[in-house]
Amino acid sequence: MHPVDYIARKRDGHELTKEELTAWIHSYVKGAIPDYQMAAWLMAVYLQGMSKGETSALTEAMVSSGETLDLSEFGTLTGDKHSTGGVGDKTSFVVGPLAAACGVKVAKMSGRGLSHTGGTIDKLESIAQIRTSLSVTDFMAQVKQIGLVICGQTADLAPADKLLYALRDVTATVDSLPLIASSIMSKKIAAGAQHIVLDVKVGEGAFMKTIEQGIELAATMVGIGADLGRNVVAYITDMNAPLGRSIGNALEVYEAVQTLKGNGPKDLTDICVVLAAEMVHLAKKISFEQAKTDVIAALTSGQGLEKFKQMVEAQGGLWDQAQNIPVLPQAPVTWQVYAMQEGYIETIHALQLGQIAMELGAGRERKEDAIDPAVGIVLHKQPGDFCTLEAPLATLYTRTEAQARRAQEKLLKAVKWSALQPEAVPHYYAKVTL
Ligand code: URA
């Protein structure tokens, strides 16, 4: 079929077959389709949507556009997780080690942050000397020996996604459900794990603003998993306020380690236990209740922390043996922020906090920007807490006092107050399975 016909068929709301989608995507990756024709096609998909069958076929075509990792030597014990992204989201550093401590082979490849805060790899790189770029051989050896790897993409996985995402970014076609679902799932499928736990964030600080949108995206991704032979379960979780207390790369790693020591904030600990238990339940084929008991045991015994330490050291990262934490950088300025009024905190606007952290240097405004691993925010109060005038509301970690003053002003505006204690946000709003 001629490229113009692919565009016209989608423009007019027709379905493309699996063979047609494969030819279309593979030709684009080979350079045989120019960006302007793919851009027109993406806009047609954005406006017309895709059927479930087409979305799975598009994902499969994106997977087969590059290499795939073969984890079959680990049987059906392999697990992976993915979060659609949010402010203060450091769950991978807790969920991965807890699931690995329970016997799952956690093989996770992550990305860098595109916007307000760093991505998983940026956060991991705040650990002194850690390597996040592994060869396939080293990746496989670490899965075998430790049962846990979190690193950047090793092989050339789903190259179609990289090209398409860059084009979507500049053609106002990012916000399309089939395009988001196929983008995320193509990378997860290519990375090889059998069991995939998705954390779909909803709210002010997330891609998906409503629970309904989150459920629709989750159901599409669970369906893709089923069509392509993977076991996928999705949780819909809150991202109106930041997750946990810390925002900023090293600060988030530190909070994840504290959580693995049993000293983490309740919201973060609770959701990590649920996500890890789901992975253990799927991979080890035991009941969810038993899996949750095992995960809590891995947390309280310190086995989860030990797994994280093994992973950091295997990847060359430095570990402070005396404090039993990774070696992390410290910002020069520590600045306490006090509230201007007393009362309950109803919410703290996630996106605004993400933007404050980005302005301090914790995230990227442009792709080529460098990240400052040391800076960020630690909240001492979270939604539902009562805040007095005497105890600090937050601590800012910055390079200069001028930055801290500007950030303080914005932070105080991001807090919504209430005279009454607000209702607690549930650990998750919904669970989406087949
Ligand atoms: N994350 C991805 O990997 N792809 C998208 O399209 C959106 C979020």
pLDDT digits (tens, 9 = 90+) for 219-255: 999 999 999 999 999 999 999 999 999 999 999 999 9
Answer yes or no: is the ipTM higher than 0.90.
yes
pLDDT score of 13 more than 70? yes
DSSP state of 67: B
pLDDT score of 114 more than 80? no
Mean pLDDT of 109-125: 82
pLDDT digits (tens, 9 = 90+) for 94-108: 999 999 999 999 999
Report d(CA 249, CA 371) in Å as an integer. Answer: 9
Looking up tokens 């709301």 gives 13
Per-residue confidence (pLDDT) for residue 115, from 0 to 100:
65
Comma-separated ranges of CATH 3.40.1030.10 domains in the chain: 72-323
- What residue ranges line ligand 1, CB within 6 angstroms? 165, 174, 179-180, 183-184
Q: Specify burial of residue 115 (Cβ count, 10 A radius: 0-12, 13-18, 19+).
A: middle
Q: How confident is the model at residue 118 (pLDDT cuts 50, 70, 90)?
A: confident
CATH placement of domain 3-49: 1.20.970.10
What is the pTM assigned to this prediction?
0.96
pLDDT digits (tens, 9 = 90+) for 34-76: 999 999 999 999 999 999 999 999 999 999 999 999 999 999 9
pLDDT digits (tens, 9 = 90+) for 278-299: 999 999 999 999 999 999 999 9
Per-residue confidence (pLDDT) for residue 46, from 0 to 100:
98
Instruction: Report CA(327)–ligand 1 centroid distance (Å).
Output: 31
Report d(CA 434, CA 413) in Å as an integer. Answer: 42
Give catalytic residues, as residue numbers.
Answer: 82, 161, 168, 183, 187
Comma-separated ranges of CATH 3.90.1170.30 domains in the chain: 333-418
Mutate which of 62, 174, 185, 186 for ligand 1 pocket (most atoms within 8 A of beta carbon): 174
Provide, rounded to the nearest whole percent, the portion of the chain with pLDDT above 70.
99
Q: How confident is the model at residue 368 (pLDDT cuts 50, 70, 90)?
A: confident
Mutate which of 116, 183, 202, 208 for ligand 1 pocket (most atoms within 8 A of beta carbon): 183
Q: Who wins on pLDDT, 368 or 260?
A: 260
Closest alpha carbon to 91 in 302, 280, 291, 242:
242
Comma-separated ranges of CATH 1.20.970.10 domains in the chain: 3-49
Instruction: Report CA(141)–ligand 1 centroid distance (Å).
Output: 29
Class of domain 72-323: alpha beta
Q: How confident is the model at residue 257 (pLDDT cuts 50, 70, 90)?
A: very high
Residue nearest to atom 1 of ligand 1 (CA): 184
Residue nearest to atom 5 of ligand 1 (CA): 180
Mean pLDDT of 339-351: 96
The CATH classification of domain 333-418, taken from the options 3.40.50.261, 3.90.1150.10, 3.90.1170.30, 3.90.1300.10: 3.90.1170.30
Helix (H) or strand (E) holding 357: helix 350-360
Residue nearest to atom 3 of ligand 1 (CA): 184
